[in-house]
């Protein structure tokens, strides 16, 4: 992940960062830890790159069912209700989650209905 952003951390650096985590590392903690370390990197890019790790075709989208599977089976697992809540206002069209737009919404808020 960091290498994809032009960073080449040492094992000691990574171990120190992992030790700062107050508990198990979930997706949010992952974003926070890496985001704090990527000075000079746009936090929006950090979030997009985290999602991009699961975007095999580098298209800015992930199938909704694949995202749901990842969130409910990896790391600190989300419940189905947690995923439903997260995706309720997410930009999903025809079963495809647009993480580029989702990242924009996280950073800047949703567009008004008039702007769409």
pLDDT digit of tens for each residue in the chain (116 aa)?
555 555 666 788 777 777 877 777 666 666 666 666 655 556 788 788 888 889 989 999 999 999 999 989 987 788 999 898 888 888 999 999 999 998 888 777 777 655 55
Note the CATH architecture for domain 3-115.
Answer: Orthogonal Bundle (1.10)
Comparing CA positions, the residue from 78, 97, 42, 76 lying closest to residue 34 is 42
Is residue 51 within 8 Å of residue 99, measured between CB atoms?
A: yes
pLDDT of residue 99: 93
Assign 3-class secondary structure to 38-76. Answer: CCCCCHHHHHHHHHHCCCCCCCCEEEHHHHHHHHHHCCC
pLDDT of residue 89: 80
> Please, what is the Cα angle at 106 between 4 and 108, to 5 degrees?
110
Global model pTM greater than 0.75: no
Q: Which residue has the tokens 């409910």?
A: 72
């Amino acid at each position: 992940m960091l290498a994809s952003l032009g960073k080449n951390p040492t094992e000691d650096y990574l171990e120190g960062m992992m030790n700062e985590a107050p508990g198990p590392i979930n997706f949010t903690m992952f974003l926070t830890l890496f985001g704090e370390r990527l000075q000079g990197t746009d936090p929006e890019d950090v979030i997009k790159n985290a999602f991009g790790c699961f975007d095999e075709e580098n298209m800015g989208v992930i199938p909704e069912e694949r995202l749901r599977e990842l969130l409910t089976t990896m790391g600190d697992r989300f419940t189905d209700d947690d995923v439903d809540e997260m995706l309720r206002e997410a930009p999903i069209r025809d079963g495809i989650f647009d993480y580029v737009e989702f990242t924009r919404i996280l950073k800047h808020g949703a567009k008004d209905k008039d702007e769409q």
